[in-house]
Amino acid sequence: MSAGVILAWATEAQEKGIISDTEAMGIKLDWGNYAAYIDAVRLIIERPNEFYKALARGVLYAVSIYGGAEYALAFGGNEMPGCHTGPGAHIWALIGARHSHLDNAGYSVDQKILIKEQISPDELVGTLLAEERWRQTLSSLVICFFARGIYQPDTICKSLHSAGFNLTPEDLYRIGEEIHREKYRFKIRAGFSLENSRLPRRIFETQSPVGKLDEEFIPRAIRICQEEVGQTEYQQRT
For 24-77, write each residue's pLDDT tens digit: 999 999 988 999 999 999 999 999 999 999 999 999 999 999 999 999 999 878
DSSP code at position 213: P
Asked if 83 and 89 touch (Cβ cutoff 8 Å), the reply is yes
Asked if 137 and 175 touch (Cβ cutoff 8 Å), the reply is yes
Helix (H, G, I), strand (E, B) or coil at 178: helix
Whole-model pTM?
0.80
Virtual torsion, Cα 204, 111, 96, 220, nearest 10 deg = 50
Mean per-residue pLDDT, 116-124: 89
Q: Is 21 exposed, middle or buried (0-12, 13-18, 19+ CB in 10 A)?
A: exposed
CATH of 83-237, one of 1.10.599.10, 3.30.160.60, 3.30.460.10, 3.30.565.10: 1.10.599.10
Where are the strands (E) in 37-196, listed by range?
74-75, 78-79
Residue among 133, 122, 140, 145 at smallest CA distance from 184: 133
Residue among 109, 163, 164, 103 at smallest CA distance from 135: 103
- Split at pLDDT 50, 70, 90, the class of 101 is low
Residue among 161, 96, 101 at smallest CA distance from 133: 96
Where in the chain are the domains? 2-72, 83-237
- Split at pLDDT 50, 70, 90, the class of 233 is very low
